């Protein structure tokens, strides 16, 4: 072992797989809406010596010595978060989005109390109350849904809130392509005296850039990851708004305490520094243009996909993502579309659609977004090309239908994958994807 050797000499096996991943990204289109490409500066902070330091506690009150500079870094991250999201309190220590949401529940609920959140198959997150998650096990969870047209069923949400009187209501989705109705959800939360927590993980970059309405005037608490449209490292921020602090002046302290000693130990200081860098970048004028282009690209892609005969949930998008409803091809066909697109070098994820007729593991839709390709510099012209490439690939999956009998599915899908690899139209598309990507730099 040589502690000073570069990775490629010290651990060639890991180095090789990183190079393979880089090649995969260079030759393909990354359309997963929760991913992005961080800047060199973010990567530099993330790969820095800060990873070595222990600093349990908060700036000015740590359990370890030697935190003079760590304190400055964390304060910069906190101040930038407060400025970017226009809030009076921010905690930047949650390791990622799920722990952030867990900390919110821990801060404002006692075990067994009631929370209400968007149901997972309708675009909610595991931590919004899903039955197999801590949020649905340790708390009484009341899920609300989307209507068949893809929009949130606010009438149902209000009815459920009045009936169950939740103490915490989540708004915010991982697979919702329309503007989040913060104002309407706040009316419901206020009517029953609940905390309203807005999980803006997906749209955070759009909110900072002013391209999506901010939840700050409406919610009491805001959580976000930092690696989606915000284009930072993996990580999270928990914020309390003015409205939140007037409901509960101790809300910030409660959130801090939920993080440590409640749930976590030492913060990841390299991650905190990289979050600070990403927030600095997100407040530059170029980032606003970037966020505007994400949405323009997404609308152009949705329109072109519909012109190519595909069905988009809710008939379009207001943000960075959309869902393709594949039920016209068959129930549970998301798995075929994801695999075939993967074979063609187009990365998306299979996803449930509102009122899903199949299951989360074999869903009937795919989810895609434009944050990454926009970072690469692609515009509306490329979105039209991507739509044509995707439609050609999805067309090749029409002949496949998910077997009704569960025990037949694994073999059927294995055979489908084999046939896809030998499909000339899909392999031809793979070549065209590679050519398209060669004109756009990743890093």
Catalytic residues: 54, 56, 199, 225, 228, 234
Which residues are paired to 369 by β-bridges?
Answer: 321
As a whole number of angstroms, the distance between CA 158 and CA 187 comes to 9
Q: Which two tokens stand for residue 113?
A: 């109390």
Angle of helix 269-282 relative to helix 68-85, nearest 10 degrees? Answer: 40
For ligand DSN, the closer CB: 93 or 98: 98
Nearer Cβ to ligand DSN (34/141): 34
**Would you call 350 helix, strand, or coil by DSSP?**
strand
Taking the complex as a whole, the smallest distance from the CB of residue 221 to ligand DSN amounts, in Å, to: 17
**Cα→Cα distances 196→37, 61, 190, 238, 341, Å:** 31, 30, 8, 13, 38
In whole angstroms, the minimum distance from the beta carbon of 323 to ligand DSN comes to 12
Which position's Cβ is nearest ligand DSN?
34
Q: Which two tokens stand for residue 356?
A: 């899903």
Token pair belonging to 14:
């890991």
Give the residue with the Cβ less far from ligand DSN, 34 or 314.
34
* Spatial CA neighbour of 167 closest among 224, 248, 252: 248
**Smallest distance, Å, CB 405 to ligand DSN?**
30
How far apart are CB 354 and ligand DSN at their closest, in Å?
A: 16
Nearest residue (CB) to ligand DSN, 34 versus 226: 34
Q: Is 286 exposed, middle or buried (0-12, 13-18, 19+ CB in 10 A)?
A: exposed
Question: At closest approach, how far in Å is the CB of 75 from ligand DSN?
Answer: 28
Is residue 404 within 8 A of residue 69, CB to CB? The reply is: no
The closest of 17, 195, 2 to 117, measured between CA atoms, is 195
From residue 385, give the alpha-carbon distance in Å to each of 22, 304, 308, 369, 424: 23, 9, 11, 15, 19
Cβ closest to ligand DSN, residue 125 vs residue 320: 125
**Cβ contacts of residue 67 below 8 Å, gap of 6+?**
53, 55, 59
Residue 143 vs 330, nearer CB to ligand DSN: 143
Query: Residue 215 in 3-state DSSP?
Result: coil
Beta-bridged to residue 238, according to DSSP, are 91, 223
In whole angstroms, the minimum distance from the beta carbon of 266 to ligand DSN comes to 23
Helices and strands counted in the chain (H then E): 18, 15
Residue tagged 């997906």 (tokens): 202
Q: Which residues bind ligand DSN (CB under 6 A)?
A: 34, 97, 125, 174
Nearest approach in angstroms of CB 16 to ligand DSN is: 27
Q: Which is nearer to ligand DSN, 125 or 220 (CB)?
A: 125
* Spatial contact of 205 and 228, defined as CB atoms under 8 Å apart: yes
Which residue, 248, 179, 192, 201, is CA-closest to 220?
248
Q: Which is nearer to ligand DSN, 34 or 429 (CB)?
A: 34
Shortest distance (Å) from residue 92 CB to ligand DSN: 18
């Amino acid at each position: 072992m040589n502690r000073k050797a570069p990775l490629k000499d010290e651990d060639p096996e890991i180095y090789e797989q990183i190079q393979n991943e880089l090649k995969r990204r260079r030759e393909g289109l990354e359309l997963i809406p929760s991913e992005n490409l961080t800047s060199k500066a973010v990567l530099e902070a993330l790969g820095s010596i800060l990873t070595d330091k222990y600093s349990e506690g908060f700036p000015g009150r740590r359990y370890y010595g030697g935190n003079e500079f760590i304190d400055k870094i964390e304060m910069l991250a906190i101040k930038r978060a407060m400025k970017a999201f226009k809030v009076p309190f921010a905690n930047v220590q949650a390791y990622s989005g799920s722990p952030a949401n867990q900390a919110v529940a821990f801060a404002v609920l006692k075990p067994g109390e009631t929370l209400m959140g968007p149901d997972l198959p309708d675009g909610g997150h595991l931590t919004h109350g899903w039955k197999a998650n801590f949020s649905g096990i340790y708390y009484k969870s009341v899920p609300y849904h989307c209507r068949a047209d893809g929009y949130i069923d606010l009438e149902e949400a209000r009815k459920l809130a009045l009936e169950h009187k939740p103490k915490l209501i989540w708004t915010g989705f991982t697979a919702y392509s329309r503007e989040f109705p913060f104002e309407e959800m706040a009316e419901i939360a206020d009517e029953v005296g609940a905390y309203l927590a807005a999980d803006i993980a997906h749209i955070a970059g759009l909110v900072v850039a002013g391209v999506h309405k901010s939840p700050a005037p409406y919610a009491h608490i805001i959580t976000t990851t930092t690696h989606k449209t915000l284009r930072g490292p993996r990580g999270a921020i928990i914020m309390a708004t003015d409205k939140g602090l007037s409901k509960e002046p101790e809300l910030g302290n409660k959130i801090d305490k939920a993080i440590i000693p409640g749930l976590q130990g030492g913060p990841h200081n390299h991650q905190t520094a990289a979050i600070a860098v990403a927030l600095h970048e997100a407040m530059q004028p170029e980032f606003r243009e970037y966020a505007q282009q994400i949405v323009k690209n997404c609308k152009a892609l949705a329109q072109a996909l519909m012109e190519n005969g595909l069905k988009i949930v809710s008939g379009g998008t207001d943000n960075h993502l959309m869902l393709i409803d594949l039920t016209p091809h068959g129930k549970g066909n998301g798995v075929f579309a994801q695999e075939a697109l993967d074979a063609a070098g187009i990365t998306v994820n299979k996803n449930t659609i509102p009122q899903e007729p199949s299951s989360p593991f074999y869903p009937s839709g795919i989810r895609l977004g434009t944050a990454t390709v926009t970072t690469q510099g692609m515009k509306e012209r490329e979105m039209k090309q991507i739509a044509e490439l995707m439609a050609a690939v999805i067309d090749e999956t029409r002949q496949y239908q998910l077997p009704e009998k569960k025990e037949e599915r694994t073999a059927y899908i294995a055979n489908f994958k084999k046939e896809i690899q030998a499909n000339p139209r899909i392999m031809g598309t793979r070549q065209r994807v590679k050519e398209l990507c060669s004109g756009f730099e990743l890093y």
